[in-house]
Amino acid sequence: MKLADVRFSRQAGAVVAHLTGEIDMSNAQELTEAVFGATGNHALGVVLDLTDVEYLDSAGIHLIYRLGDGLRVRGQRLALVIPSTSPVNDALRLAGVRRDGNVFAALDPALELMRRTDRAGSGERVGGRAGDDDQI
């Protein structure tokens, strides 16, 4: 089993967290802390790039909710990159999670969301309430 790795970059005023490997209960908390630790208050938000994630269990789904909730409290946004062919889609579908306006199939549209946020100069979030049990 290849546990998840994360690398960070900064683009469009946001922190982009590129995750690879498998996200499960053995590493979800550590990944959450790493993403929050890499995201300063000046960032518009986080783009969580799950393109290269091979496996995501319920702990990984909770990671997404915790990030969304924590960023929202700080006035920041969360955007997810999940290609249509990703196994992450199956995990979210089986968990009954509705995809919302903050989920993108590629990185560029997610970065455009951050650029629009920057141009608007507002801290309002995109999409529905990430804290709802059935929606990210």
User: How much is the pTM?
Assistant: 0.84
Residue-range definition of the domain harbouring residue 69: 5-120
Q: What is the pLDDT at residue 101?
A: 78
CATH of the domain at 79: 3.30.750.24
Give the total number of structural domains in the chain.
1
Q: What is the pLDDT at residue 98?
A: 67
Q: How many residues does the chain have?
A: 136
- For residue 127, the Cα-to-chain-centroid distance in whole angstroms is 13
Residue 130 maps to a domain: no
Cα torsion 93, 1, 4, 111 to 10°: value is: -50
User: pLDDT tens across 1-17, in order?
Assistant: 567 899 999 999 999 99
Residue 67 maps to a domain: yes
Residue 109 banded pLDDT, cuts 50, 70, 90: very high
User: pLDDT tens across 27-78, in order?
Assistant: 999 999 999 999 999 999 999 999 999 999 999 999 999 999 999 999 999 9
Closest CA to 116 of 66, 67, 50, 45: 45
Residue with tokens 């006035």: 75
Please answer whether residues 53 and 86 qualify as being in contact, where contact means their C-beta atoms are separated by less than 8 angstroms: yes
